[in-house]
Amino acid sequence: MKPSLAPPRPGDRGLKCIERPERYVIMTAKRLLIVAHVPSPNTVALCDAVVRGARGAGADTVDILAQSPFDTQPEHVLNAGAVVLGTTENLGYMSGALKDFFDRCYYPCLDHTQGLAYALYIRAGQDGTGTRRGVETIVTGLRWRAVQDPLICRGEYRDEFVPQCEELGMYMAAGLDAGIF
């Protein structure tokens, strides 16, 4: 079932809220695309933190589109100024959802998104090494540019992961807003 568009809440400055909390759209000038697999309440909280940080840093000048990898099409990537990738660690690799995103978007984006700024966060029950390596192999082929080291939220879920993800979102939106990437 597709989520339905809910009316904006007071003070949202044009935010179009989607009933699923992992999807937001702010309509303004530059675009930060957040592609995150959120299969649990903890991963929803991490994605929400990335969005919250991005909204705080670039609320007036940066479009923020956060959605599932399954809903993300090549056009979304082609229209983005920067991308945040969020995934769980599944059997030592990225989520199947993020892999599906790359499978569908790789060739349509290959020659058109070279140098695209990206950041990665991983919710890893173990160490996240295989997940990081898998994502980095694909984005290296795309010739995307990592603008910071991956954020790996290792081990049991801890509340400290939330502000780390919020800082990641803030950094990405601020860099896009300032024209750094």
Query: In this predicted structure, what is the pLDDT of residue 57?
Result: 83
CA–CA gap between residue 112 and residue 125 (Å, rounded): 34
Amino acid at 181: F
Classify strands 145-146 and 151-154 as parallel, antiparallel or unpaired.
unpaired
Question: Which percentage of the chain shows pLDDT scores above 70?
Answer: 83
Q: Which CATH superfamily is domain 15-178 in?
A: Flavodoxin domain (3.40.50.360)
Closest by CA position to 115, among listed 143, 138, 137, 150: 143
60 vs 79, residue with greater confidence: 79
Q: Give the global pTM.
A: 0.84
- Which pair of structure tokens corresponds to residue 80? 């983005």
Query: For the CA atoms of the chain, what is the radius of gyration?
Result: 15
What angle in degrees, to the nearest 10, is found between the helix axes of 41-58 and 161-178? Answer: 30
Residues facing residue 112 across a β-bridge: none
Residue that the structure tokens 């024209």 belong to: 179
β partners of residue 90: 93
Domain ranges of the chain: 15-178
pLDDT in tens, 13-66: 333 333 334 444 433 359 999 999 999 999 999 999 999 999 998 667 899 999
